[in-house]
Structure 1
Amino acid sequence: MLMGALPLGSRERMMISVARALMAAGHRVDLLVPGSSPHWREAVPEGARLLELGRGFVDRLRNKQRLALCVPLIARYLRRECPDVLFTMSIPPNLAGLAAGRLAGSRVPVVIRQSNVVHLASSEAYRNVRARRRDRLIPLLYPSAEGAIAVSHGVADNLQRVTTLPAERIRVIYNQVVGPELQERAAEPVECSWLEDAEVPVLLAVGRLVTKKDYPTLLRTLARLRQRMGEVRLIILGEGDQRSHLEALRSELGLEQAVALPGRIDNPFAWMARADLLVLSSISEGMPSVLIEAMACGCPVVATDCPAGPAEILGQGRYGRLVPVGDEPALADAIEATLCEPVNGALLAQRADDFSVGGAINQYVEVLLARPR
Structure 2
Amino acid sequence: MVKPVDDQPDLSILASFSGEGGVERMVLNLVNAMAERGLHIDLLLIKTHSRHLHEIHPAVNRIDLGSRHTATSLLPLARYLKQTNPPCLLAAKDRAGRIAVIARILAAASRTRLILRLGTNLTAAFAHKPGWRLFLRRLPIRLLYPRIDRIIAVSEGVRADTLTVSGVTPEKVVVVRNPVVTPQLLEAAEAPSPHPWLGDPKNPVILGVGRLTVQKDFPTLLRAFADLRARRPCRLIILGDGRQREKLQAMSDELGISEVLALPGFTANPYAYMKRADLFVLSSRWEGSPNALTEAMALGTAVVSTDCPSGPNELLDGGRIAPLVPMGDWQALSKAMQRMLDQPPDPTLLCESVREYNAQQSADHYLEIMGLASV
Task: Give the alignment's TM-score, normalised by structure 2.
Answer: 0.87
Aligned to 1:67: 70
Question: Is the 2:194–2:273 Cα contact (8 Å) retained in structure 1?
Answer: no
1:276 alignment partner, one of 249, 268, 278: 278
Question: Is the 1:37–1:52 Cα contact (8 Å) retained in structure 2?
Answer: no
How far apart, in 1, do the equivalents of 2:146 and 2:225 lie?
Answer: 44
How far apart, in 2, do the equivalents of 1:157 and 1:99 lie?
Answer: 25
Report deviation, 1:360: 1.1
Output aligned runs, 1:1-373, within 5 Å.
1-8=13-20, 11-20=23-32, 22-23=34-35, 27-37=39-49, 39=51, 41-54=53-66, 58=68, 66-107=69-110, 108-119=112-123, 126=124, 129-131=127-129, 135-136=137-138, 137-229=140-232, 231-369=233-371
How far apart, in 2, do the equivalents of 1:78 and 1:72 lie?
Answer: 10
How far apart, in 1, do the equivalents of 2:36 and 2:48 lie?
Answer: 27
How far apart, in 2, do the equivalents of 1:344 and 1:26 lie?
Answer: 38
Q: Residue 59 of structure 2 aligns to which amino acid in structure 1? A: G
Q: Structure 1: give runs of 5+ residues left out of the alignment.
A: 59-65, 120-125
Report deviation, 1:352: 2.9
Secondary structure of the 2:15 match is coil
Question: Is the 2:94–2:118 Cα contact (8 Å) retained in structure 1?
Answer: yes
How far apart, in 1, do the equivalents of 2:322 and 2:48 lie?
Answer: 40
Q: Residue 16 of structure 2 aligns to which amino acid in structure 1? A: G
CA deviation profile, 1:16-46 (whole Å, cap 9, x unmatched): 4443454565542111112444535412322
Query: Do the aligned partners of residues 262 and 103 (structure 1) sit closer, same or farther apart at CA in structure 2, a change above 3 Å counting?
Result: farther
How far apart, in 2, do the equivalents of 1:35 and 1:53 lie?
Answer: 8
Question: Is the 1:118–1:130 Cα contact (8 Å) retained in structure 2?
Answer: no
Q: Structure 2: give runs of 5+ residues left out of the alignment.
A: 1-12
Secondary structure of the 1:149 match is strand
Greater shift after overlay, 23-32 or 342-351? 23-32
Secondary structure of the 2:17 match is coil
Question: Is the 1:209–1:240 Cα contact (8 Å) retained in structure 2?
Answer: yes
- Indicate the RMSD between aligned Cα atoms, in angstroms: 2.3
Query: Do the aligned partners of residues 103 and 246 (structure 1) sit closer, same or farther apart at CA in structure 2, a change above 3 Å counting?
Result: farther
CA deviation profile, 1:140-189 (whole Å, cap 9, x unmatched): 32221111000111100000000121111111001242233222211111
Identical aligned residues as a percent: 37
Question: Is the 1:129–1:284 Cα contact (8 Å) retained in structure 2?
Answer: no
How far apart, in 1, do the equivalents of 2:43 and 2:127 lie?
Answer: 31
Query: Do the aligned partners of residues 202 and 330 (structure 1) sit closer, same or farther apart at CA in structure 2, a change above 3 Å counting?
Result: same
